[in-house]
Chain A
Amino acid sequence: MDADDNTLETELHTLLRRIDAVPADVTLAARSALAWRRMDAELAQLLDDTSGDRELAATRGSDSGWRALTFEAPTGVTIEVEVLLDGVARTVIGQVLPAAGASVALRHAKRHYSAVADDLGRFRFDSIPSGPVSLRVEHVDGPVETGWVTI
């Protein structure tokens, strides 16, 4: 690499660092992420992630569609989730297996949402804003938290 390249690259670095620095609120959010450290729960890892309804999305605009996610904890507890996208709002419908009534928390950067899974393990959250989310289920076999996903 010759001197001209060095000069040009330095100039580009200076420009990019000035016009595209990490925004302060992004750094602040990153620092706060440590508060989500898993303490007592098993991690349910993402096994499957499918999205669809491209044709529907094409007719209704790119902000609609669905996505199906499956999480599994080492204890064998699985959490199946379907995310329905409609504009900026998301509906999260899920089922915990083995089926059991349980309280379910949807953790979101902006706030917490709570729901109760019925005897079949089914639960639902409406009008969730986009962003990273994780579910925590107080299952009879022990608490389980899913990995984080952006919805």
Chain B
Amino acid sequence: MAPNTDIAQLVRDASHGDQRAWDAIIHQFQGLVWSTVRGFRLTGADAADVTQTTWLKLVEHLDRIQDPARLGGWLATTARHECLRCLRTSGRTIPTDDEATLDRASSQPQPEIDADLLRDERDSALWRAFSRISERCQRLLRILAADPPPTYEDISLAFDMPIGSIGPTRQRCLDRLRVELAAEGVG
């Protein structure tokens, strides 16, 4: 993660139209935005539209970003709201973030992915196991996998979850994943 002073400078430069600064912001945060959107199971045009709306909203707000330290959280929160909006408009199920749903297996089918991307049986087993853990766990583990990795502060804002809960929740989700993976017959 670039230091906040750098982010502040990038935001200032981008607000004056500096494309290189804007590209640097995208490079830093696009993994976070994309993993948030994909965590809501949006695919294809929906995922692309929600992502683009998130960036356009940032362009709209470049001159009002008060605290660059919260830029990642702002982007993830904006993306989450756009995802929920998209799901509502299309009449699809809205995921809940209740603590109680954390350990509940996912009832939603995972969107199709290109099977060629799963290189071997181990990949396939891991993907199937991941698809069965709760949707909330999937979202958290996806966002933690973003490249570059988001800060816990970004995740806290994105999930509306106290920073202190992220570590233990991450642990629980990995435990669930391990159980599901064991059920696949691979450890």
Contact = CB atoms under 8 A, between A and B. Distances in A.
B14 interface: yes
A11 B174 CA distance: 12
The contact size tier of chain A is 35 or more
Given A31-B19, A37-B62, A147-B57, A19 B52 contact: no
A8 interface: yes
A3 interface: no
Interface string B48-82: 11111101111110100000000000000000001
A91 to B, nearest CB: 15
A22 to B, nearest CB: 5
A127 interface: no
Of A30, A36, A38, the most chain B CB neighbours within 10 A belong to: A30
A16 B145 contact: yes
A18 B61 CA distance: 32
Interface residues of B, number: 54
A15 B51 contact: no
B164 interface: no
**Interface SS of chain B: helix, strand, loop or mixed?**
helix
B30 A8 contact: no
A85 B88 CA distance: 13
Of A5, A33, A130, A134, the most chain B CB neighbours within 10 A belong to: A33
B145 A17 contact: yes
B60 A19 contact: no
Nearest to B83: A150
B34 interface: yes
B52 A109 contact: yes
Interface of A: 1, 4-5, 8-9, 11-13, 15-20, 22-23, 25-27, 29-31, 33-34, 36-38, 43, 49, 51, 54, 57-58, 62-63, 65, 67, 85, 109, 130-132, 134, 147-150
